Amino acid sequence: MRCVFPLILILCLAVFAPTLKAQSPTPNPAVEKFADILLNTQSEEERRGLLVARKDLVNVELGQNLIAQGRKFMGGNDFPRAEKAFTVALQVG
């Protein structure tokens, strides 16, 4: 009986796992826009001021968005913008 349960479990996972999809969160347009604004600031002081003023948007999603943009910039060989995106993500995190 002990050997049957793991076999049934594996069989169920093999059958049903392909139909299960990971839930991806719905992107928040306000967070996406704020990430773009942060990346287009000219100075560190301006960026810090924005982060303080919009604490409601400083969250995990913002950090994830900045990291995703940094990866996109790296893929396009735009290393200065990638570095900026990762630096801002660290400030948020």
pLDDT tens digits along 5-49: 665 656 555 666 555 555 556 788 999 999 999 999 999 999 999
| Spatial CB neighbours of 70, under 8 Å, sequence gap ≥ 6 | 81, 82, 83, 85, 86, 89
Cα–Cα distance between 16 and 12 in angstroms, integer? 6
Predicted local confidence at residue 72, as pLDDT: 95
Is 12 within a domain?
A: no
Output 76 or 23, whichever has higher pLDDT: 76
Model-level pTM? 0.71
Phi-psi region of 77 (alpha: psi -120 to 50; beta: other; left: phi over 0): left
Q: How many domains is the chain partitioned into structurally? A: 1
Is 85 within a domain?
A: yes
What do you get for the CA distance between the two ends of the chain, in Å? Answer: 49
Domain hosting 33: range is 28-92
